[in-house]
Structure 1
Amino acid sequence: MAKPNLARLGTLVLAAVVAIATPATITYAQEDNTIIFLAGPSSDPFWGAVQQGFDTATKELGVKTQWSAPQDFNDIVPIYTKMFEAAIARKPAAIVVGNFFPEPTEPLIKQAVADGIPVLVYNSGRTTWKDLGAIGFIGEDPWLMGNAGGKIAVKQGVKNGLCINQIAANPVLEMRCKGYIDAVTEAGGKAKLVTLPSEDIGNSQKVQAAVSAMLMADQTIDGVITLGAAVAVDALESVKQVRDTGRKVDLGTIDLGQVVLEAVRDGQMSYAIDQQPFLQGYLGVLMAHQFVNYRLAPATEINSGPFVIDQSNAAAVLAVGEKFPGSRGAN
């Protein structure tokens, strides 16, 4: 029996559940048939998985695409803004963009739409994409992501939780923390959000020192959640040092990486909440491609997370990563 064409099957399935969403007053006259995908820093393993999905869709669909990403988190807001401005100036077939920083990004989404460029929002911007005139949204529900972690933390006995945010300007990360805090407080405990300087992300010594200082400053903290794989790996080292003194501290994270999955498998971390970034990269290209060619777009936002990974299924997810390197995080 011949193997099915998965790319074509995915296209047909998605097309079967979409609705025409093009305002009659907008005309689309692109000068460049490229789909431009604006991504996060390549230094973060999360974006490796997004790029895997992007690359796979590009190859399977046979479309012309461009991946644009900053190198790291330094000056990320102005750099991302300039990337978006450059993309609009090219008048491409479509732009796939994360609304990570609403203040500079949302006016640019409106500008692109006004210029006749279809914009698909992914990852961040779940509640605003439609009002901005975008054709759709693929990504997580951030409150549910954090809340799922908080509920697991509560089962682990957490009474005083800490949610560590690594990008202060991103409201999605704040909503993740709110979900975690809500779960812990509703169970009778307490929790708070703390923010690390974005420029310190990628500097393991600084992150570990900061997390260690937080744990030492309040000896009653018994639960920590991080919002990215790189920070989770650094936080794990700090938590291990505290555990060596006999203190119990639960640790979990949102977003995956190889080291994170191994830590969950081995019981060093309780959980990892996956928003399936590969899916965001793949469907980002697919949905933009369908709109450009068929004027088809989802009628509602598409949730790619939360998907809970704990000790019961971490090994299976690791096996997927071994077969398709980078598809579930790369650190």
Structure 2
Amino acid sequence: MNTPLPPPSPRRSVRVTALAAAVCLLLAGCSAFGDTPSDANADAAGRADTGRLKIALVTHGGRGDDFWELVRKGAEAAAAKDDIDLTYASDSDAAGQAELVREAVHDRVDGIALTLAKPQAMKAPVTEAKAAGIPVVGLNSGVNAWQSAGVLEYFGQDESVAGRAVGDKLNALKAKHALCVIHERGNISLEARCAGVKKTFGGETDMLYVDGSDMDAMSAAVTSSLEQDPSIDEVVTMGAQFALAAVKSVKKAGSRARVATFDLNKDLVEAVRDGDVQFAVDQQPYLQGYLAVDALWLYRTNGNISGGSVAPVLTGPAFVTKANVAAVAGFAANGTR
């Protein structure tokens, strides 16, 4: 694989296209694609008829987390459409994730999509990728840090906006005392969510930090908080699996608290339908993975930049409640919501 280069000027594109056309006149049935963007055609089935790109998706997702499987499924769908050779790797440790990005640079991939939960740790590997001519896009976390981190585009939810929307929702539900559960200390997205809740919620907001990799410990911590302070009437979690665990904690503590959450999966859809969880904030992780990979293909083949490098492409927030859960239930059952 040749070293990837940034998009050429329009004049150079004309020369490359003209040269490719000349070669095609001499060699029957040619299909040319270099490391610079070129016109992309699609066959009748909608699959891209270009050379095969190699893209790396590197996240901070933990193993066995349904949320990241949704991100991965979306990325794989885009890769299948665009005929991309996609690799996925993750490490919840910031240093480990940075090393995975460096490995992708060493492998001379054509593009990298990464999350920016701890953006400071990503700056150096992103700089290395750019120096190697490899475009990098961000997704899921880091909406306020993607430009300073040096990535080309960003796809995700504005977590501060989402948090403020949840605060407003709790006000409408007449909640008085919220427990905001953060399962990964230092994750800027989770911190922004709870800060947003606290900013608009008219009641009291307490933060509870737990270890998201230990569900038993997380559940026990929520139970203990509810037992110690019976005035807590709302538990807000940062992920679907944590919400489901919190439902059990509420019952164990004999609390009257309700549960609401950020993020969604098929089990959470059922919990909303049954009334065990009041609502979920859907940031559409499948869409995030899909758009990030497709954006790299568009950039490599046509020089497109979503948001023009100055604005993020937002995928949320959207509220899923008992009133509208039926609209997403089918997609959740298919494993794409």
| Counterpart amino acid of residue 294 in structure 1 | N
> What does 1:56-67 align with in structure 2 at a 5 Å threshold?
56-67=77-88
> What does 1:154-173 align with in structure 2 at a 5 Å threshold?
154-173=171-190
Partner of residue 104, structure 1:
121
- Extract unaligned runs of 5+ from structure 2: 1-5, 10-33, 37-51
Give me the TM-score of the superposition, normalised by structure 2: 0.80
Match of 1:84 among 101, 105, 112: 101
SS at match of 1:131: helix
Q: How big is the shift at 1:305?
A: 0.7
Change (3 A) 1:221 1:250: same
| Counterpart amino acid of residue 44 in structure 1 | D
- Extract unaligned runs of 5+ from structure 1: 1-20
Change (3 A) 1:82 1:319: same
| Counterpart amino acid of residue 280 in structure 2 | A
Partner of residue 234, structure 2:
223
Partner of residue 249, structure 1:
257
Answer yes or no: is the 8 Å Cα contact 1:99–1:106 preserved in 2: no
| Counterpart amino acid of residue 178 in structure 1 | A
Report sequence identity in percent.
28
Match of 1:326 among 305, 319, 335: 335
Deviations 1:244-285 (A, max 9, x none): x4x421210001122211111111111000100010011011
Answer yes or no: is the 8 Å Cα contact 1:68–1:83 preserved in 2: yes
Deviations 1:125-157 (A, max 9, x none): 212222333210000000122222222222222
Distance 2:88 2:330 in 1: 27
| Counterpart amino acid of residue 227 in structure 1 | M
Answer yes or no: is the 8 Å Cα contact 1:93–1:117 preserved in 2: yes
Q: How big is the shift at 1:47?
A: 0.7
Structure showing greater relative contact order (alpha-carbon pairs closer than 8 Å, 6 or more residues apart): 1
- Greater gyration radius: 2
**Size of the alignment, in residue pairs?**
289
Partner of residue 205, structure 2:
191
Q: How big is the shift at 1:310?
A: 0.5
- 4+ runs deviating over 3 angstroms: 21-24
Partner of residue 155, structure 2:
138
Q: How big is the shift at 1:29?
A: 6.2
Answer yes or no: is the 8 Å Cα contact 1:148–1:308 preserved in 2: no
| Counterpart amino acid of residue 248 in structure 2 | E
Q: How big is the shift at 1:241?
A: 2.8
Match of 1:263 among 271, 276, 279: 271
- The CA RMSD measured in Å over matched residues stands at 2.1
1:53 has 2:74 as partner = yes
SS at match of 1:130: helix
Deviations 1:90-138 (A, max 9, x none): 2210000001112211222122112211000111121222233321000
SS at match of 1:288: helix
